Amino acid sequence: MANNESNDTSTQNSKFLQLNSSIQILNESISIQMPQFRQKVLKTVHSKDAVRRKQIACHIYINDLESVPGYKALKKQICRICICEEETSKFIAPCKCKGTAEFVHQECLKMWILEQYGVNKIYNDELYCEVCNHKFEFDVDFNDRFDIKQFQRIKKRTKLCWLIQIFFIILFIFGSIEIALGFGINSLATVAIIVVFGLITISLTIYLIFNFSSAHTIQMIENWNFQNYKPKSSASLPKKNTKKITNQFIRVNQIYFT
């Protein structure tokens, strides 16, 4: 579909409205009036959650766009954080703020929240706009992920502890085999020693596996999506929202006349 339509230059401008609809469309029909697509950037923000003692990570997806002189955003949307007109990520209007502070890139807002507050306020659903005090409505998932790359971050002291535990596990296994081979398993005393060694080995192994996996587990913030601000149709409705007031009037009028 993109191939056929890219030849039709007369309606190019209107077709470019949906910047995020396809990377192919942008590459195949580059216009002078539009920012040129360069690459998609994935940043992973890591932070430590001091309250829950967990390593947290969040992917930030940014379309890196090269600005073209003279380009004006079609919807006049400007991100209030990066002051950028290009749709490097989805434009949202998450609070009551208007004018130049109305829109923000979703990924810019995520970065700002993580830098400013860390993770705790996301957990507790306590994110507010600093200007208008409106509570941000959002969906988010926290999922544990095993990440072997965390091995580099683990302290040498912890790694040394693991090595000592592995040494003792091997020592108890070979000790049990040696006792069994040397004294036989007919004597009650040797059986008792082997059982004790076996229990210590199992406990140490479970403890080691638990520590190893928890040290390599990071909690990912996933599917984090903000909702646009929608005024509630109540008595405290702002004057500017005429659409819902009009709907209410129609309903009231119908009741009044019947």
**3-class secondary structure per residue, 133-162:** CCECCEEEEEEEEECHHHHHHCCHHHHHHH
Q: How many residues bind Zn ion (CB under 5 A)?
A: 10
Q: In Å, how far are 21, 29, 63, 68, 248 from 26, measured between CA atoms?
A: 9, 6, 12, 14, 43
For residues 26 and 108, which CB has a smaller minimum distance to Zn ion in the complex? Answer: 108
CB of 59 to Zn ion, least distance (A): 16
Per-position x/- string for 35-74, each x denoting binding to Zn ion as judged by CB under 5 A, each - no binding = ----------------------------------------
Using CB under 5 A, pick the residue from 19, 25, 65, 79 that binds Zn ion. 79
For residues 52 and 135, which CB has a smaller minimum distance to Zn ion in the complex? Answer: 135
Place of tokens 């208008």: 132
User: Going by DSSP bridges, is the β-strand pair 138-146/104-105 parallel, antiparallel, or unpaired?
Assistant: unpaired
For residues 34 and 97, which CB has a smaller minimum distance to Zn ion in the complex? Answer: 97
CB of 149 to Zn ion, least distance (A): 28
Footprint on residues 85-144 left by Zn ion (CB under 5 A): 95, 97, 105, 108, 129, 131-132
CB of 43 to Zn ion, least distance (A): 13
For residues 55 and 63, which CB has a smaller minimum distance to Zn ion in the complex? Answer: 63
CB of 134 to Zn ion, least distance (A): 5
CB of 227 to Zn ion, least distance (A): 14
Is there a contact between 102 and 229 (Cβ–Cβ < 8 Å)? Answer: no
C-alpha 170/C-alpha 126 separation (Å) is 50
Using CB under 5 A, pick the residue from 30, 82, 191, 215 that binds Zn ion. 82
220 binds Zn ion (CB under 5 A): no
Which residues are CB-neighbours of 18 under 8 A, at least 6 positions away? Answer: none
User: Going by DSSP bridges, is the β-strand pair 217-226/138-146 parallel, antiparallel, or unpaired?
Assistant: antiparallel
C-alpha 127/C-alpha 109 separation (Å) is 11
For residues 95 and 221, which CB has a smaller minimum distance to Zn ion in the complex? Answer: 95
Instruction: Record the tokens describing residue 226, joined without a space.
Output: 């903000």
For residues 34 and 108, which CB has a smaller minimum distance to Zn ion in the complex? Answer: 108
Name the 3-class secondary structure at 247: helix
CB of 98 to Zn ion, least distance (A): 9
For residues 25 and 87, which CB has a smaller minimum distance to Zn ion in the complex? Answer: 87
CB of 236 to Zn ion, least distance (A): 17
| Residue 100 backbone zone (phi > 0: left; psi -120 to 50: alpha; other: beta) | alpha
Site of interaction with Zn ion (CB under 5 A) = 79, 81-82, 95, 97, 105, 108, 129, 131-132
